């Protein structure tokens, strides 16, 4: 077998965003595009003779990309590659496999919740030894390398058969095709009371519906809920993973998981519903006719963690991204544990988990997880909820309402303006930044500005500083507005407006969220002049 060195020219657009390099499939298919990024990983990190993991969410181009990566890894002297069968590994399972095998790192292929197929998106990111996304200093170094790269190495060899478990040789490199589901289930069994959950699911008194949105968790969900935990066949819907996710948008929210929403809000609705995204790291939790916001979900899991075997000894702390509501802060305060506020993106939780400062973490964007891996984990969140439901014997709605009575309710919503003009969106943010120093003390209707800043985070473990992570305007009554531009979109810019207010009075917990937040929404739109800069009358998606 022959190693070829192929000349290339750098691309100037390979800066990884919030969760890796994410572009349309068409861009990834352009000559040398994938290869440049992969070679930049190998050039930046010393992977010779090391073990790496590779797998992806099974979207279109996953198979081709994995064959290329394997041949490049062999040409670059990697010692051993562990590959999910069929090229499949959900993002949390990839993290689990890296950790379990003490691999040097892993290459995870996914564009998460973005649509797939020939006209959809693709993505790639590098995870480090702890199983989590590489920290910024590594992603920056990889990016710098993409700007100067002039050649890459690849082995001339036939494609490997990845569809059955087994061991292969690619030149000097060992390739092991592993079951993508088994190690993950083993980890879940070590955390949750599977016997108790099985009793619940087979009691005849409790029904659940899991919607995999034709994405990667289909195989995992069938194996866990139906085969292992005894739920009836059909519990998992849209459970066959497809390269284009059946043409859908594999994002577990009220808009894109509409099949599930119809079931849970319909007649004869089951007791519990959940969905996960393209690569299996996000989750949405529903009760019968009831939606649990991700921020509330994190707070409820934190408050009930002692009921779950893997967390019964207590939590070291909890962490949430800055735009996530402060609901979990109140639980942390009561439990007497630390609560950390990090920038958006899962990679910021890694150090806190490694240093055992936090045990649970979450984001408002349907991401929840713990120190069991270093990625957010959709099915883990579903099992966590099931474990709590099995122990408490109450409905989802009862559990959340009791939670609000105890801690007060944080009304919360996110308004997204998608695919707006990027230059104008940046102008809007620049203008907002220029207003910040003068906002304090200003009155908007009944709301007075208590503070305003562009969020900056100093990592408590390594001292690294991340600036310009979102504009926050806080009011004297504890309400908050946050503005951020998305780092994961692939078309134009996406403006996110996050809104939060706190209501201690239980008699007002039934209010409609958008109504409760209406004054703040108006203030946000006014301060940022959203209509003018986005040319939009209304948000694209309201969550
Ligand atoms: C979005 C979410 C963020 C999440 C990321 C990856 O990033 O807001 O919380 O970590 O996707 O799932 P954004 O597009 O806002 O940069
Ligand atoms: Zn995802």
The pLDDT tens digits of the residues spanning 430-451 come to 999 999 999 899 999 999 999 9
Number of the ligand 1 atom closest to the C-alpha atom of 18: 16
The mean per-residue pLDDT over the stretch 214-239 comes to: 96
The mean per-residue pLDDT over the stretch 486-498 comes to: 87
- pLDDT of amino acid 279: 97
Integer CA distances (angstroms), 166 to 49, 83, 177, 444, in order: 20, 10, 5, 65
| Residue 283 shares a structural domain with residue 377 | yes
Is the CB of residue 501 below 6 angstroms from any atom belonging to ligand 1?
Answer: no
CA atoms of 256 and 365, how far apart (whole Å): 13
- pLDDT of amino acid 489: 72
- pLDDT of amino acid 158: 95
Distance 17 CA to ligand 1 centre (A): 9
With cut-offs at 50, 70 and 90, classify the pLDDT of residue 419.
Answer: very high
CA atoms of 495 and 336, how far apart (whole Å): 35
Q: What are phi and psi of 123, to 5 degrees?
A: -160, 160
| 198 has pLDDT over 80 | yes
With cut-offs at 50, 70 and 90, classify the pLDDT of residue 18.
Answer: confident
The mean per-residue pLDDT over the stretch 373-388 comes to: 98
**Secondary structure percentages of the chain, helix, strand, coil, to 5:** 35, 25, 35
Query: Which residues is 6 bridged to in the sheet?
Result: 152
Q: What are phi and psi of 217, to 5 degrees?
A: -75, -10
| Residue 351 shares a structural domain with residue 224 | yes
| Residue 519 shares a structural domain with residue 395 | no
Q: Given ligand 1 and candidates 488, 491, 495, which is best to mutate, with the most ligand atoms within 8 Å of its CB? A: 488
Do residues 156 and 164 lie in contact, with contact meaning Cβ atoms separated by under 8 Å? no
Which of 128, 160, 180 terminates a domain? The answer is: 180
Distance 487 CA to ligand 1 centre (A): 7
CA atoms of 476 and 465, how far apart (whole Å): 27
- pLDDT of amino acid 52: 98
Number of the ligand 1 atom closest to the C-alpha atom of 282: 12
Write the residue with the smallest CA distance to atom 4 of ligand 1.
345
- pLDDT of amino acid 99: 97
> Is 486 a known active-site residue?
no
Given the residues 112, 219, 365, 452, select the one marked as catalytic. 112
Contacts of residue 171, Cβ cutoff 8 Å, sequence gap at least 6: 1, 3, 74, 75, 155, 157
The mean per-residue pLDDT over the stretch 107-125 comes to: 96
pLDDT (tens digit per residue) in 38-49:
999 999 999 999
Number of the ligand 1 atom closest to the C-alpha atom of 344: 9
Is the CB of residue 487 below 6 angstroms from any atom belonging to ligand 1?
Answer: yes
| Residue 224 shares a structural domain with residue 159 | no
Distance 122 CA to ligand 2 centre (A): 12
Q: In what order do the strands lie in the sheet with 471-475?
A: 443-444, 447-454, 471-475, 480-485, 493-503, 409-420, 541-542
State pTM to two decimals. Answer: 0.94
Q: What DSSP line would sit under 255-306, residue for residue?
A: TTTHHHHHHHHSTT--SEEEEE-TTS-BEEEEETTEEE-HHHHHHHHHHHGG
Distance 456 CA to ligand 1 centre (A): 17
Write the residue with the smallest CA distance to atom 1 of ligand 1.
488
Instruction: Of 38, 31, 40, give the one whose Cα is nearest residue 54.
Output: 38
| Residue 193 shares a structural domain with residue 61 | no
Which of 407, 431, 466 terminates a domain? The answer is: 407
CATH number of domain containing 236: 3.40.120.10
| Residue 13 shares a structural domain with residue 135 | yes
| Residue 207 shares a structural domain with residue 350 | yes
Burial of 243 (0-12, 13-18, 19+ CB in 10 A): middle
CATH number of domain containing 536: 3.30.310.50
CA atoms of 165 and 407, how far apart (whole Å): 50
Is the CB of residue 345 below 6 angstroms from any atom belonging to ligand 1?
Answer: yes
Count of residues making up the chain: 543
Domain count, the chain: 3
CA atoms of 536 and 495, how far apart (whole Å): 11
| Residue 301 shares a structural domain with residue 353 | yes
| Residue 172 shares a structural domain with residue 217 | no
With cut-offs at 50, 70 and 90, classify the pLDDT of residue 17.
Answer: confident
| Residue 159 shares a structural domain with residue 199 | no
DSSP-derived pairing of the beta strands 317-321 and 338-342: parallel
DSSP-derived pairing of the beta strands 236-237 and 208-211: parallel
The DSSP secondary-structure symbol of 6 reads E
Number of the ligand 1 atom closest to the C-alpha atom of 345: 10
From the CA of 496, the nearest ligand is: 1
What interhelical angle do 294-304 and 396-407 show, nearest 10?
A: 80
Which of 407, 442, 460 terminates a domain? The answer is: 407
Number of the ligand 1 atom closest to the C-alpha atom of 277: 12
Instruction: Of 268, 276, 320, 278, give the one whose Cα is nearest residue 299.
Output: 320
pLDDT (tens digit per residue) in 160-194:
999 999 999 999 999 999 999 999 999 999 999 99
| Residue 48 shares a structural domain with residue 128 | yes
Coil, strand or helix at 461 = coil
Q: Given ligand 1 and candidates 487, 491, 494, which is best to mutate, with the most ligand atoms within 8 Å of its CB? A: 487
From the CA of 278, the nearest ligand is: 2
- pLDDT of amino acid 282: 97
- pLDDT of amino acid 400: 98
Instruction: Of 208, 220, 251, give the one whose Cα is nearest residue 414.
Output: 251
User: The domain containing residue 244 runs over which residues?
Assistant: 184-407
Q: What's the mean per-residue pLDDT of the chain?
A: 95
Instruction: Of 277, 305, 275, 306, give the one whose Cα is nearest residue 291.
Output: 275
| Residue 458 shares a structural domain with residue 376 | no
Task: Tell me which residues have their CB within 5 A of the ion that is ligand 2.
Answer: 112, 277, 279, 281-282
Distance 455 CA to ligand 1 centre (A): 16
Q: Given ligand 1 and candidates 112, 343, 365, 489, which is best to mutate, with the most ligand atoms within 8 Å of its CB? A: 365
pLDDT (tens digit per residue) in 230-275:
999 999 999 999 999 999 999 999 889 999 999 999 999 999 999 9
């Amino acid at each position: 077998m022959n190693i070829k060195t192929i000349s290339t020219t750098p691309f100037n657009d390979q800066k990884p965003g919030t969760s890796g390099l994410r572009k349309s499939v068409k861009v990834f298919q352009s000559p040398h595009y994938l290869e440049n990024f992969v070679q930049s990983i190998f050039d930046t990190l010393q992977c010779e003779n090391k073990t790496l993991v590779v797998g992806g969410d099974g979207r279109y181009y996953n198979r081709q990309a994995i064959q290329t990566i394997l041949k490049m890894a062999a040409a670059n002297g990697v010692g051993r590659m562990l590959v999910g069968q069929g090229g499949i590994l959900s993002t949390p399972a990839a993290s689990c496999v890296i950790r379990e095998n003490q691999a040097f790192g892993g290459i995870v292929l996914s564009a998460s919740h973005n649509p797939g197929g020939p006209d959809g998106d693709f993505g790639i990111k590098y995870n480090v030894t702890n199983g989590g996304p590489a920290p910024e200093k590594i992603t920056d170094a990889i990016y710098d390398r993409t700007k100067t790269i002039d050649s890459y190495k690849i082995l001339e060899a036939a494609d490997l058969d990845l569809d059955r478990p087994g061991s292969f040789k690619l030149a000097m490199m060992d390739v092991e095709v592993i079951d993508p589901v088994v190690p993950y289930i083993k980890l879940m069994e070590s955390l949750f009371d599977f016997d108790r959950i099985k009793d619940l699911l087979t009691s005849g008194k409790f029904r659940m519906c899991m919607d995999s949105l034709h994405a990667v968790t289909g195989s995992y969900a069938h194996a866990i809920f139906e085969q292992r935990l005894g739920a009836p066949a059909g519990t998992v819907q849209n459970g066959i993973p497809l390269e284009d996710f059946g043409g859908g948008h594999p994002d577990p929210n009220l808009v894109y998981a509409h099949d599930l929403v119809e079931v849970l809000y319909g007649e004869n609705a089951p007791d519990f519903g959940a969905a996960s995204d393209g690569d299996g790291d996000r989750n949405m939790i529903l009760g019968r006719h009831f939606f649990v916001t991700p921020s509330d979900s994190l707070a409820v899991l934190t408050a009930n963690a002692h009921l779950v075997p893997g967390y019964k000894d207590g939590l070291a702390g909890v962490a949430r991204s800055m735009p996530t509501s402060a609901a979990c802060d109140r639980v942390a305060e009561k439990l007497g544990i630390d609560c950390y506020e990090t920038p958006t993106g899962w990679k910021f939780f890694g150090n806190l988990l490694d240093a055992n400062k936090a045990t649970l973490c979450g984001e408002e964007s349907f991401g929840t997880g713990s120190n069991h891996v270093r990625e957010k984990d959709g099915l883990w969140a579903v099992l966590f909820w099931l474990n709590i439901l099995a122990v408490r014997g109450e409905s989802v709605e009862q559990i959340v309402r009791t939670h609000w009575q105890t801690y007060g309710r944080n009304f919360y919503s996110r308004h997204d303006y998608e695919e707006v003009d990027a230059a104008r969106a940046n102008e809007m943010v620049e203008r907002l930044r220029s207003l910040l120093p003068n906002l304090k003390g200003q009155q908007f209707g009944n709301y007075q500005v208590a503070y305003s800043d562009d969020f900056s985070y100093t990592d408590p473990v390594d001292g690294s500083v991340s600036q310009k992570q979102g504009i926050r305007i806080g009011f004297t009554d504890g309400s908050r507005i946050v503005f951020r531009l998305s780092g994961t979109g692939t078309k134009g810019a996406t403006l996110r407006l996050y809104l939060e207010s706190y209501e201690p009075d239980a008699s007002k917990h039934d209010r409609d969220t958008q109504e409760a937040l209406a004054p703040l929404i108006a203030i946000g739109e006014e301060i940022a002049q959203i209509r003018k800069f986005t040319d939009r009358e209304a948000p694209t998606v309201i969550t």
